[in-house]
Amino acid sequence: MKTQLSTFRSTLFIWIGLFCFYPIDLQSQDFWNARWLSLSQSDLPDYAVVHARNEFNITSVPGDLTIDLSAVIRYKLYVNGEYLGQGPANNDLEHYSFDTYDIAPFLKEGNNVIGLTVFSLGEMNPVRYHDLGLRFILKSQDDKMGESLNTGTGNWKLWIDKSYEATFRDKDFEVLGYFAMGGGEQIKGEEYPWGWNQVGFAADKWHSPKVLDRGVPYGHTHSYGHAEISLNPREIPMMNEEKESKPIIRKTSGNWEVDNLQKWNSGEKLIFAPNSETIILLDQKYLTKGHTHFTFSGGEGSQVEVAYAETLFYEDNTQGNRNEIEGKKFIGQTDRYLLDGGENKEYSQLLPRTWRYIQVKVKTGAKELHWDNYIAHKFIYPFQEAGNFKTPFTLHDEIWDVGWRTALLCADETYMDCPYYEQLQYIGDTRVQALISLYAAGDDRLMKNALRQFAHSITDEGIAQSRYPSNLRQMIPPYSLFWINMMHDYYMHREDPEFIKSYIPQIASILFWFENKLEDDYILGSMPWWSYTDVAGWEMSSPPGFKEGGSVVMTLQFLYAIQEAIPLFQEFGKDMFADHFSDLSTKIKSNIRENAWDQNRQLFADKTSKETFSQHANIFAILTNTVDKSAQSDLFDRIISEEELAQANIYFRFYLTRAAQQSGNGDYFINNLNTWEDMLAEGLTTFAEHEKETRSDCHAWSASPNFEFIHTVCGIQPAEKYFQKVLISPNPGDLNQFEGKMPHPKGAISVRYDFENRTAQINLPDGLDGEFIWKGKSYSIEPGTQHITW
């Protein structure tokens, strides 16, 4: 079969080149009138933190003064000592982002200073950041100010801040499980250049920068030196950095003044006696993510260690109830501050931290120490809650609130699997997160950003990396298939044809990669890399047959992606692709029916040898209509009733619910919330990676109820492409009364149900109509408010 397909595939790839394109407007992309700045490689340490300042004079404050700014790997921007923001938005070097600020509101007549803290932490860089060595670039959009402000021409001076060091994970603290966030940070106060970002700071001993290449846009025609960094405007908004609430003190030990608790609660400074040691456990009461700021006075020679944790652990490293602290130990990422005795010195982090619990260890020297102030600021994507789900039961409110917090903490400049351990954008997690963003927030910008980034990650072999941006390549081939499903989700929910059309080549590339792995029986052969599927008990959480070949689970997932790719090919006139994959779909389905169906078990097996069975194979059999629609409901009943089947974990529960909905068993979701109810009972304030023995206490894929409540229970979903029409088909389960709302590009869709009295109130925005279906009967619905009685 492979030989027969080779000529046809070659022809198709020619068609890809002829009829598909990338969405890059090269005519609008100009070279920058600014250059990248750094220091000579011999001067820069691998773990490098550099301050840059440019002091300039203006005779009058302009109405606006807009600058564009980027740095590798990160910057923090100050104007006249005031913090403005940090970035750039995380991306790879070929599509690197720059940020735009209007700095005019922070200027004054006379001397002003732009200050930047730029850092690149070498081996301690989090895996999410691509690195080419520390550098930064800034330009003014006002050409008249370019001579004064632009890097390469302005009065820029640099200082290597050697007060910063890494607190290495293996030496200074322990984190349980895979950790992709580098180490903590140590700051020596006596070596820090306090006041460096203020006007008048004496920078005469600061260094002149090394001037590198001009900034260039994506698609430039020549590449010299370091021009492999291609600059693109930021595609997403700046992050939410609003002030976070103050934690409470849960426990103290050592030399603790009795009145310090009252002082902490009232915002007064805390006093620590000379030559004393104190340990303070702070409890935020819920998980959060951002930057903390500690201000100290005096206490020369004192050392303060600040550690951050999602939860506390028993001696056997289990967590138990997250609200309980007795008999537990603290394990977490640690920062260390070595104090110089100055007044009102503020210490913070370069990179954000995630915490519910903060442990502060204070060890003073020969002088009294004052802890003057503590504040924290969030660092999360600025999602605004626009959807809702309301019932008479507090359980549903609690699940919604905890799910929403989970979704918020798993997103900043990209989606991320978890905020504490990795902060990596995985395709598998991201599909669920993106749908939550659409249904609970109505915000598609981060979804579109993720689709674009995963397309950029596609390697020469034709599939996407499983997580991206990432400086360590990881391949999970089934995740590339979910990227296709995610593109289909976008197609159904947003009218953005040019964006979708531009990625037809990547969709075809992934499908051809999998097609090339098919054996003569139209079942996938041996698969390279890691075939992660999320199930307990399987080798590497991968389905039977992934190594040696013959995996029915993965073949059906391939079929699922094919079926959702076909309407995209048809939409954009790629009939050759559509016909080819429609034919392939038919052959795969026929062979799976013939070879993988076990007549005795009345189930699809994981392999044609029919040795093992799982929910997963049968979930995909339903989603692909490999089992006839008339038999899908009975098959779903067997999926959820036969306990010996390999079970879907919390991540794959999303696909179990899709199978329930498609088979006419949509009530299953709302009647089976035990997983989330149990996590609430364990004191979790975000939903965990796994139901039991979890690593992460906050994992994006576990927030799926915030999608399901609106999509499945309220029944709000697109009836056709671009969400041009709505289908409302509720699955109330045992609920009698509830209501919900979903943001739509044309306005809010809201529903209110009273099943006891057999009525529904539906409100559609102007320009949107559709269909309401209940108990097999269809009702037309129009813009505005309407009441339906059955």
Which SS3 state, helix, strand or coil, does residue 388 take? strand
Bridge partners, residue 334, by sequence: 307
CA pair distance 480, 431, nearest whole angstrom: 11
Beta strands per DSSP E along 179-259: 184-188, 210-214, 216-217, 230-233, 248-254
Q: How crowded is the C-beta side of 128, counted as CA atoms within 13 Å?
A: 26
Of 529, 504, 524, 352, nearest in space to 423 by CA: 352
At 175 the pLDDT is 82
Q: Is 263 exposed, middle or buried (0-12, 13-18, 19+ CB in 10 A)?
A: middle
Residue 732 φ then ψ, to 5°: -75, -15
Q: How far apart are CA 440 and CA 385, in angstroms?
A: 6
Peptide bond connecting 73 to the previous residue in cis, omega within 30 degrees of 0: yes
Q: How far apart are CA 730 and CA 423, in angstroms?
A: 35
Q: Mind listing the pLDDT tens digit for each residue in 596-623?
A: 999 999 999 999 999 999 999 999 999 9
Contact 137, 52 (CB under 8 A): no
| Residue range(s) occupied by CATH 2.60.120.260 in the chain | 31-162+192-233, 248-378
> 82: which strand partners?
79
Q: Which residues contact 362 (CB under 8 A, 6 or more apart)?
A: 272, 276, 277, 278, 279, 280, 302, 303, 304, 369, 371
Determine contact, residues 182/83, Cβ cutoff 8 Å.
no
Per-residue pLDDT, 2: 52
Q: Which residue type occupies 784?
A: G
Residue 10: per-residue pLDDT: 47
Between strands 230-233 and 96-102, the pairing is parallel
Q: Exposed, middle or buried: residue 70 (CB in 10 Å: 0-12, 13-18, 19+)?
A: buried
pLDDT of res. 503: 98
Q: Give the integer Cα–Cα distance in Å for 207 and 215.
A: 22
Is the C-alpha dihedral spanning 52, 345, 200, 352 positive or negative?
A: positive
Q: Which residues pair with 687 in a beta bridge?
A: none
Question: What is the SS3 assignment for 110?
Answer: strand
Q: Which of 180, 73, 231, 244 has its CA nearest to residue 416?
A: 180
Give CA separation, 505 vs 218, 722, 737, in Å.
19, 21, 47
Residue 329's alpha-carbon distances to 97, 183, 280, 315, 681, in angstroms, are 41, 20, 13, 7, 21
Q: Which amino acid is at 516?
A: N
CATH classification of 248-378 is 2.40.420.20, yes or no? no
Q: Residue 567 has what DSSP assignment?
A: H
Within the chain, all domains assigned CATH 1.50.10.10 are found at 390-774
The pLDDT value given to residue 275: 96
User: What sign does the dihedral 41-43-44-50 (CA atoms) show?
Assistant: negative
The burial of 199, by beta-carbon neighbours within 10 Å (0-12 exposed, 13-18 middle, 19 or more buried), is given as: middle
Detail the DSSP E strand segments found in 540-675.
597-598, 603-604
Structure pTM? Answer: 0.94
**Is the separation of the CB atoms in 650 and 617 below 8 Å?**
no
Q: How far apart are CA 685 and CA 59, in angstroms?
A: 52
| Separation in Å, CA 193 to CA 85, 112, 163, 197, 203 | 20, 18, 9, 9, 10
Q: Give the strand pairing for 48-58 and 737-744.
A: unpaired
**CATH architecture group of domain 31-162+192-233:** Sandwich (2.60)
User: What is the C-alpha separation between 669 and 205, in angstroms, rounded?
Assistant: 66
| pLDDT value of residue 335 | 96
Alpha helices in 241-393, H assignment, sequence order: 260-266
Distances (CA, A) of 181 to 71, 166, 492, 699: 19, 12, 35, 16
Q: What is the distance of C-alpha 405 from the center of its chain?
A: 13
Pairing of strands 737-744, 597-598: unpaired
Q: Identify the segments of the chain with pLDDT beneath 50.
A: 3-4, 7-28
Closest to 434 in 3D by CA, of 454, 409, 407: 407
CATH topology assigned to domain 390-774: Glycosyltransferase (1.50.10)
Query: Would you call 157 helix, strand, or coil by DSSP?
Result: strand
The rounded distance, in Å, linking the Cα atoms of 449 and 427 is 12
Give me the pLDDT at residue 26, please.
40
Asked whether 175 and 311 are in contact (CB, 8 A), the reply is no
Return the SS3 of 248.
Answer: strand
Q: 108: burial class by Cβ within 10 Å (0-12, 13-18, 19+)?
A: exposed
CA pair distance 538, 611, nearest whole angstrom: 13
The pLDDT, as a whole number, for residue 17 is 44
Task: Locate 612 and state its tokens.
Answer: 């093992």
In angstroms, the CA 446 to CA 334 distance is 30
Structure tokens belonging to residue 543: 């389905």
State the number of CA atoms in the 13 A half-sphere of 456 facing the CB: 20
